[in-house]
Chain A
């Protein structure tokens, strides 16, 4: 077996476990940041500063009883969380998180820090995002419960509405980078203007970045767009009837989706692994810092902004975000054609 294959397998396994761990870490971060913003302590008992709290939660979830409503559709009820979890992991496969590296000369040939280098990576992420709706919709339908069904219907309506603006914002980046490969998009953002302003797309196309992040929050069902699971209205939304590990799968899928959207945003708008001070081969540190900041931003937003009303969400998506993203795409294309980039 040659080195490249071994390296790829190692990266694959490492990414998978990092994503699993990141979900646990995000649960801890979410609770700690929430506590910090509300002047509380948050979890403190299990491990140092409550660091082991997520693992205690996981153990609890594993040993809980698995309940299924008598009138639920048996097959789809268990298929739904599996679809959610699988889609959340699959999307990260095409996200590059560092420049080519030889791992300090360990390998003869440099390898890409990425599970799969697909030349239509951006579309793959988009496709998997549209598939992940099925997990939620099926969960709501199969549970045979009105709260679940309402949550699922809200979720599908919301995701269809925001997917369009999401796609338009993506397209404006494709036009600027003239490529669909995430690696090439990141490399198009290398360097700096006047020696200190990084050539990140967020500075060239701030409206696109704003639209992309807003739609990203809606796609991941996070506050202030967390309608599918609005607890004051729908108990727990689409996962009301789930318990034990099947609930844990939904929970984990939500956090992994957050990580993926943050990582994609980093690659598309924040220059990926490019940044000052750190040499190119350690670029993944910049990548982690930027993704971490975006994740913190997510949590920050959740505990700052109140939830919208449902009709406001729909009106905002169709009447504000979509026209804005179309105009942004047209202007960006015109700029690229007449002035170049």
Chain B
């Protein structure tokens, strides 16, 4: 096994195992950290694909900016570390009472999961039959200037629409978070 294949397995395993552990944790801070680990593994995979720009952007955008904000929220909300025995017992009685109510959403969730898995398998089949890895093609897509050119010409509309979307979300967050000045009735 070549060193590249070995690295692929290492990064792939880190990504998959860390992603699975994200949802297996009770402590949200651990979940966030494992999410970073899985992003780091993903960025390693991008490096193996000869796409250093994508790899570094992955770290800057996800692991850096978003997760710092995520940590903020997690810490300021002071989420509980772990459920005590008492909490679990109370949850069980609530669960029993609402089991009938929740069976609908549960079914819907299961359906979504099945659709997702089928879609994933279909996509994977298409990739293996579509063609082999072409280093020249990868180079053309991964260079910074090529990405920039395509982003601001061919995908200009999508780019601008995305930025409008983000601004709308930001304005919405500011409006929600803003307190009315004292003495003024809303």
A-side interface mostly: helix
Q: Which segment, of B7-15, B50-58, B104-112, B175-183, faces chain A?
A: B50-58
Those 8 A-B pairs whose CB atoms lie nearest each other, nearest first: A130-B64, A127-B59, A123-B56, A127-B60, A127-B56, A120-B52, A120-B56, A120-B53
User: Which A residue sits closest to B59, measured CB to CB?
Assistant: A127
Task: Mark contacts of B50-88 with chain A using CB atoms, 8 A cut-off: 1 yes-contact digit, 0 otherwise.
Answer: 001100110110011100110110011000000000000
B-side interface mostly: helix
> How distant is the Cα of A137 from the Cα of B14 in the complex, in angstroms?
23
Q: In the complex, are the beta carbons of B60 and A130 less than 8 A apart?
A: yes
For residues 266 through 303 of chain A, which have their beta carbon under 8 Å from a beta carbon of chain B?
A: none
Chain B residue contacts of A130, Cβ below 8 A: 59-60, 63-65, 68
Judged by a CB distance under 8 angstroms, whether B48 is at the interface is no
Judged by a CB distance under 8 angstroms, whether B141 is at the interface is no
Distance in Å from the Cβ of A326 to the closest Cβ of chain B? 15
Judged by a CB distance under 8 angstroms, whether A259 is at the interface is no
In-complex Cβ contact of A124 among B56, B71, B76 (8 A)? B56
Chain A residue contacts of B72, Cβ below 8 A: 153, 156
Q: List 17 A-B contacts (CB under 8 A).
A: A73-B29, A120-B53, A123-B53, A123-B56, A126-B56, A127-B56, A127-B64, A130-B65, A134-B68, A134-B71, A137-B68, A137-B71, A152-B75, A153-B72, A153-B75, A156-B72, A160-B65
Judged by a CB distance under 8 angstroms, whether B45 is at the interface is no
Judged by a CB distance under 8 angstroms, whether B144 is at the interface is yes
Chain A residue contacts of B29, Cβ below 8 A: 73, 76, 141
For residues 8 through 64 of chain B, which have their beta carbon under 8 Å from a beta carbon of chain A?
A: 29, 33, 36, 52-53, 56-57, 59-60, 63-64
A binding-site residues for B, Cβ under 8 Å: 73, 76, 118-120, 123-124, 126-127, 130-131, 133-134, 137-138, 141, 149, 152-153, 156, 159-160, 163, 180
Distance in Å from the Cβ of A52 to the closest Cβ of chain B? 39
Q: In the complex, are the beta carbons of B68 and A160 less than 8 A apart?
A: yes
Task: Mark contacts of B116-155 with chain A using CB atoms, 8 A cut-off: 1 yes-contact digit, 0 otherwise.
Answer: 0000000000000000000000000000100000000000
Q: In the complex, are the beta carbons of B63 and A131 less than 8 A apart?
A: yes
Excluding A73-B29, A123-B53, 6 further A-B contacts by CB distance (< 8 Å) are A119-B52, A123-B60, A127-B56, A130-B63, A130-B68, A133-B64
Chain A residue contacts of B144, Cβ below 8 A: 120, 180
Chain B residue contacts of A127, Cβ below 8 A: 56, 59-60, 63-64
Chain B residue contacts of A119, Cβ below 8 A: 52
Chain B residue contacts of A153, Cβ below 8 A: 72, 75-76
Chain B residue contacts of A152, Cβ below 8 A: 75
Of B29, B59, B64, B69, the most chain A CB neighbours within 10 A belong to B64
> How distant is the Cα of A151 from the Cα of B53 in the complex, in angstroms?
33
Q: In the complex, are the beta carbons of B75 and A123 less than 8 A apart?
A: no
Chain B residue contacts of A123, Cβ below 8 A: 53, 56-57, 60
> How distant is the Cα of A138 from the Cα of B34 in the complex, in angstroms?
13
